[in-house]
Structure formats: C-alpha cells, structure tokens
Amino acid sequence: MTTRVELLELINNGENSGIEFKRDVIEHHALAKELVAFSNLSGGAVLLGVEDDGSISGITRPNLEEWVMTVCRDKIRPGIIPFFEIIRDVEPGKNVAVVRVAPGFSVHSRWHNNGHMYYIRVGSQSREANPEELSRLFQQRGAFRAELRPVSGARLADLDLRRLRDYFGRVRQQATPDTGDEAGWNALLLNTELMVEEGITVAGLLLFGIQPNRFLPFAGIDAAAFPGTEKDYAARERATLRGPMVPLIGEGGLVENGLVEQVLQFVDRNVARKTTLENGARRVETPVYPTDVLREVVVNALIHRDYLLTGTDIELAIYSDSLEIVSPGKLPNGITTERMLAGCRAARNQLVKDVMRDYGYLEHMGMGVPRKIVQGMKAHNGTEPVLIAGDESFTVKLLG
C-alpha cells in the first residue's frame, strides 16, 4: 500500500517512465492508453486526481474503482487487473487514486473504435509503437515464463510461512530462516524463483499464497456435480475451490488441504462408490474414479494451464457417467495428444511442476499420462480416458 508521504514524494518527482498524472475525468480510452503503455514497458502507475503540474485536484468520479476495472477489462486486450487504491486527504478534503499495473504477461493493446492500438512508454510520454518496436516487444514477451512474473502488490506477508517452512524443512530437508527474518526469507525465495526483485512471482502465490485469488482471481477450480449426462442449472453441488496448491503437513499428518485435496474431497462427496459382494458375502466399496488417476489429472491441469489466460478457472464437471477437467490454454511447446500419450515431456510452468513433484504428486519421468491415467483407468474399469485439445483449452474426460 502507498502511504501519503510516499505519494507526495512520487508527485514531487514529476511524471516519468513509471508515473503519469491525470484528472479523474479522463476518457476511458485515454486511461487505457496509459495503462497499456506501462504494461508494455516495465509497469507503472496512473495517479488520478493530480494535474500535469503536480497540483492536487482530487477525485470526483462516482464509483471510480468500478469504472477503472471496466476500462481494464473492456478497453484493453488482453484484459488486465490493476492494483487500485485511494490515498485520502493528500491535501485537506482531496483524495488521489493510484492505478498501478505490472509488466504485462503478453503484449497489450488498447481496443477502441473496433481497432487495436499498441502503445509503449518513452520517458514521460505514451506513444504508439512503430513496427520495429512492436516486433521486439512481441519477441521479448514470448520468451518470458508467466509463472516467473512478479504479481503487483504481492509481498512476503501474502505467503503462508507455515507452508514454506514445511516445504523447505520437511520436503527439501534444508534450514529455514526465523519467522521474523524477512531478509533471510527474501534471499531464500529469490534463490528459488518464488520471488524476483520486483516482488512475489505468480508461481510463489499459486503454490504458497495465503489467498492467491486476491491477486490472481483466475487461480482456482470451478467445480460442479450434475445429476445427468449434461450441464444443468440444477446441479447437485457447485463449489469454487480456492487456496494454495500445496497442502500443509504437520507432525500428525495433514493439517490443511491444498487445491488437489479439495478436488478429491469434492469428487468423493459427489460420486457414489460402487458396491460389490466379495465371495458372495462381504460388501466391498470401490471408487468410480481411482484416486491416483484423479490426482494425476488434477495436478496436470494445475501445472500445465496457461496462466496468461486470466478470464477463466480450471473447470471440474461431474456427470452421471463421466468426469471432465478442463484446463485453460493450448497444449504447450508443440505437444499433441499423441505425443502426450507417448510420454513426451514439456512443461509450461516448470517451477510449479518441480515443486509439485517435490511433494510426490508427479512421476519423475514424465509418464503420468500413459502410466497413471491411461493404464490406471484400463486396469480399473477397462475404459480409456478421452483427451481433447481445443483452441484455448485441454480436456481430460474419464468414463465411469
């Protein structure tokens, strides 16, 4: 959060490559231009309620936060989610809004009058990128891993130190800093890429965040159980599964679930077990979907989804005859369903994959799909999973 003193210092230093002054009566497309330019460089902030000369005029627009979020969703492609805050009484009775954006995951454009315009920040000015600049920008963005991007506004306090201690101490068998040793934790997280100089990374929040969805609204799983074979408004249960990917383990075992365990519990309470008689007498209950298979499908969706796509969560749908998990994004790095079935290894989010593998969720040889999912379902009920590679999604369907 920005303090009043920090804000006054920013204003006193004037507009630059990372700061722009605007009245809050600015047109929506004009605000989009400035935010796009910052996002296409190294991030920055628009101070609403500040004149070009640095004098404070204050904000007057009603429902300002909602208006800003609408601009970022409707006038910018792909949409962005800024960090928004209001600093009150910067001068008596005058408030200033700070709209801050991080460096973009991809190249952003302003969408206005049915056309795209690409802007970059040059000194204290935002201007249209020429073809050479645009080509270089696309090249730079394409080479950057989304999971290592800093998340605007996220700090060490937004990570669960209990889970971090468990991971580094129990899982990795290494010493951890004391609770109050912020410098020690920063150094450890920097060296393991859970943090970069600009702040906590996407991977750090996804894995160990206290509330990842506070900063990454799309980082979760939308689950629904339907009574029939198709989606229906009358679902038996709907749940929005949120939280860090990894669980918290204590001396006595599981203390708090991670996302994977939340999914397993949702399936368990919404899919009745099959009951058979063994030797004609003893009742034996077996799951419709083997736990090892289901866990592998869920983990694959979490580690391979495209976190550049911010408009949708992973979807879990349970039907009377099947279960589907849909992960946003195309298959990464030239992978096809055929190559996946052959055991080809390619990770879009390598750090997330490595940490989940440290917890024992994954095969070390990249054979999870052919060995655990395919062979697991064949051994369980004689069916083969259906793998569907869509334009912007990947679906795994298990047959009950």
Task: Please check whether residue 380 is in contact with residue 293, taking contact to mean a CB–CB distance below 8 angstroms.
Answer: yes
C-alpha pair distances (Å), 285 with each of 262, 277, 319 = 21, 9, 20
- CA dihedral sign, ordered 57, 58, 63, 69: positive
Residue-averaged pLDDT of the chain: 91
Q: Could you give the CA distance from residue 383 to residue 343 in angstroms, rounded to a whole number?
A: 19
Q: Could you give the CA distance from residue 103 to residue 149 in angstroms, rounded to a whole number?
A: 8
Residue with tokens 């889970």: 163
Task: Please check whether residue 154 is in contact with residue 205, taking contact to mean a CB–CB distance below 8 angstroms.
Answer: yes
C-alpha pair distances (Å), 369 with each of 135, 257, 278, 376 = 37, 24, 31, 9
Q: What is the CATH number of domain 4-142?
A: 3.30.950.30
Q: Could you give the CA distance from residue 318 to residue 239 in angstroms, rounded to a whole number?
A: 12
Q: What is the mean pLDDT of residues 206-230?
A: 94
The percentage of residues in the chain with a pLDDT greater than 70, rounded to a whole number, is 96
Tell me which of 198 and 236 has the higher pLDDT. 236
Query: What is the structure's pLDDT at 301?
Result: 93
Q: Which amino acid is at 300?
A: N
Which tokens go with 22? Answer: 């605007």
Query: What is the structure's pLDDT at 148?
Result: 87
C-alpha pair distances (Å), 94 with each of 3, 6, 234 = 15, 16, 49
Q: Is 204 exposed, middle or buried (0-12, 13-18, 19+ CB in 10 A)?
A: buried
Query: What is the structure's pLDDT at 205?
Result: 97
Query: What is the structure's pLDDT at 280?
Result: 63
Instruction: Give the pLDDT band (50/70/90) at residue 366.
Output: low
The pLDDT tens digits of the residues spanning 226-242 come to: 999 999 888 999 999 99
The pLDDT tens digits of the residues spanning 136-189 come to: 787 677 656 778 888 988 999 999 999 999 999 999 999 999 989 999 999 999
Q: Is the pLDDT of residue 281 over 80?
A: no
Instruction: Give the pLDDT band (50/70/90) at residue 1.
Output: confident
Q: Could you give the CA distance from residue 66 to residue 62 in angstroms, rounded to a whole number?
A: 9
Q: Domain locations in the chain?
A: 4-142, 156-214, 221-399
Residue closest to 216 by CA, chosen among 229, 203, 227? 203
Pairing of strands 195-196, 125-128: unpaired
Q: What is the mean pLDDT of residues 2-24?
A: 95
Give the length of the chain.
400
Q: Could you give the CA distance from residue 316 to residue 190 in angstroms, rounded to a whole number?
A: 34
**Is cis: bond before 78, omega within 30 of 0?**
yes
Which tokens go with 307? Answer: 């976190």
* Phi (first) and psi of residue 173, to 5 degrees: 55, 50
- Region of 31 please: left (phi>0), alpha (psi -120 to 50) or beta: alpha
What class has domain 221-399?
A: alpha beta
Query: What is the structure's pLDDT at 284?
Result: 76
- Region of 211 please: left (phi>0), alpha (psi -120 to 50) or beta: beta
The pLDDT tens digits of the residues spanning 92-142 come to: 999 999 999 998 878 999 999 988 999 999 999 999 998 888 877 876 776
| Complete DSSP assignment for 214-255 | HH-TT-SEEEEE-SSSS--SS-SEEEEE-S-SS-EEETTEEE
Residue closest to 213 by CA, chosen among 189, 244, 259, 258? 244
The one-character DSSP state at 130 is P
The pLDDT tens digits of the residues spanning 39-76 come to: 999 899 999 999 999 999 999 999 999 999 999 999 99
